[in-house]
Amino acid sequence: MSGVTPLTFVILAAGEGKRMRSRHPKVLHRLCGRPLLGYPLRLARALGDRIVVVVGREAAEVRAAAGPGVEFAEQAERLGTGHAVQQARAACGDGAIVVLPGDTPLLSEATVTRLIDHHAKTGAAVTLLTALVERPAGYGRVLRQRGHVRGVVEDRDATDDQRRIREINTSVYCFDARRLWPALAKVTASNEQGEFYLTDVVGILARAGARVEAVTTPDPAECLGVNDRKQLAALAALQRQRTLDRLMTEGVTILDPAATYVDDTVQIGPDTLLQPGVVLEGETRVGAECVIGAGCHLDRSRLGDRVTLLPYCVLTE
């Protein structure tokens, strides 16, 4: 890990998520056993010294779900990502600040570590995580000049030429706090949305002669966000496949991965066999050398070693 200290993670979780058509905050919708917010929180707890979650008004559910060791900043009005980060200033302190969206569950610890390490090594004012995608519509485009990042333009504000750029901003950043706050104070809402964009800080710093760096993720799927229930289902499918791949690498036999559903929160010992149609949810723990029969459904259950479940057993806590 890099020598960046102290390291504060700011997680943006104030969005209403209107396209989810739900009474509940978007970041609390569950994906493979965790609320969406649980994924960036897991990264922040693994890598950071301080965690600040930016929430909206009436966010008691989000505050409760975040758990211990978290500070909160309230964004009473939805005035953009720049405004959201500004609300966290008092809680951030000095050092480096990593900004993460609250709805990007596939982002890996390895990628965020690489971003932080590159930021520390180069002494940049800001390092942003980018991705190269075939269909960049809807995403902010990274503007470069002679290979150097000069800014980010949001899709709504981009010219036709800029919309052809395939390198996108992922909304994941590592900032030097000393450079972030003065630059953020210069951001205006003179754009189509009438919002204060955090992306504008990149251009402000570049024009001031500050060092702006970028790290490109090798897997653009890491940066996918959730805006509606279709995207939630699509990302859940990707996360399930990652979970099953990890389990098989660790020595678990899965006869039909396409028909097996295992939450990210489940632990399974080696030489255990999962037959088709198995569903394992919550904090389920399965020991080594077990056989879980076809169609079994376990929720928050614990099995020791060498247990055999006949088909279609249902176990709950």
Please report, for the domain that includes residue 151, its CATH number.
Answer: 3.90.550.10
Element (H, E) at 215: strand 212-216
Q: How far is CA 91 from CA 50, 87, 88, 172, in A?
A: 9, 9, 6, 19
What percent of the chain shows pLDDT beyond 90?
Answer: 93
149 and 275 share a domain?
no
Residue at 237 is within a domain: no
pLDDT in tens, 203-256: 999 999 999 999 999 999 999 999 999 999 999 999 999 999 999 999 999 999
Inter-residue contact 184 to 202 (CB < 8 Å): no
Inter-residue contact 126 to 174 (CB < 8 Å): yes
Q: How confident is the model at residue 184 (pLDDT cuts 50, 70, 90)?
A: very high
260 and 144 share a domain?
no
Half-sphere exposure of 251 (CA within 13 A, CB side): 11
72 and 181 share a domain?
yes
User: Running DSSP on this structure, what letter comes out for residue 97?
Assistant: E
187 and 104 share a domain?
yes
The pLDDT of residue 18 is 87
Mean pLDDT to the nearest integer, 16-45? 94
265 and 128 share a domain?
no
The pLDDT of residue 67 is 92
The pLDDT of residue 15 is 85
Residue at 233 is within a domain: no
213 and 264 share a domain?
no
Let me know if 284 is exposed, middle or buried by CB neighbors in 10 A (0-12, 13-18, 19+). Answer: buried
Rounded distance between C-alpha atoms, residue 296 and residue 314, angstroms? 6
Let me know if 254 is exposed, middle or buried by CB neighbors in 10 A (0-12, 13-18, 19+). Answer: buried
191 and 271 share a domain?
no
Residue at 14 is within a domain: yes
Residue at 290 is within a domain: yes
Show the tokens assigned to 284: 């389920």
Is residue 3 scored above 80 in pLDDT? Answer: no
Residue at 69 is within a domain: yes
255: domain CATH number?
2.160.10.10
Rounded distance between C-alpha atoms, residue 198 and residue 83, angstroms? 8
This prediction has a pTM of 0.93
- Residues marked as catalytic: 19
Instruction: Give Cβ neighbours of residue 195 (< 8 Å, ≥ 6 apart).
Output: 79, 80, 81, 82, 83, 189
Residue at 255 is within a domain: yes
Residue at 18 is within a domain: yes
Inter-residue contact 74 to 56 (CB < 8 Å): yes
94 and 138 share a domain?
yes
Rounded distance between C-alpha atoms, residue 241 and residue 110, angstroms? 18
Q: How confident is the model at residue 2 (pLDDT cuts 50, 70, 90)?
A: low
Q: How confident is the model at residue 1 (pLDDT cuts 50, 70, 90)?
A: very low
146 and 70 share a domain?
yes
82 and 190 share a domain?
yes
pLDDT in tens, 61-114: 999 999 999 999 999 999 999 999 999 999 998 899 999 999 999 999 999 999
Inter-residue contact 193 to 80 (CB < 8 Å): yes
Helix boundaries (H) for the chain: 38-47, 60-66, 81-87, 89-92, 109-122, 160-163, 177-184, 200-207, 229-249
pLDDT in tens, 140-181: 999 999 999 999 999 999 999 999 999 999 999 999 999 999
Q: Report the number of distinct structural domains present in the chain.
A: 2
Inter-residue contact 253 to 290 (CB < 8 Å): no
Residue at 100 is within a domain: yes
Inter-residue contact 136 to 129 (CB < 8 Å): no
End-of-domain residue from the set 223, 258, 279:
223
- Which structural domain range is residue 116 located in? 7-223
188 and 254 share a domain?
no
282 and 189 share a domain?
no
Q: How far is CA 124 from CA 71, 120, 215, 295, in A?
A: 26, 7, 12, 53
Rounded distance between C-alpha atoms, residue 182 and residue 204, angstroms? 10
Mean pLDDT to the nearest integer, 263-284? 98
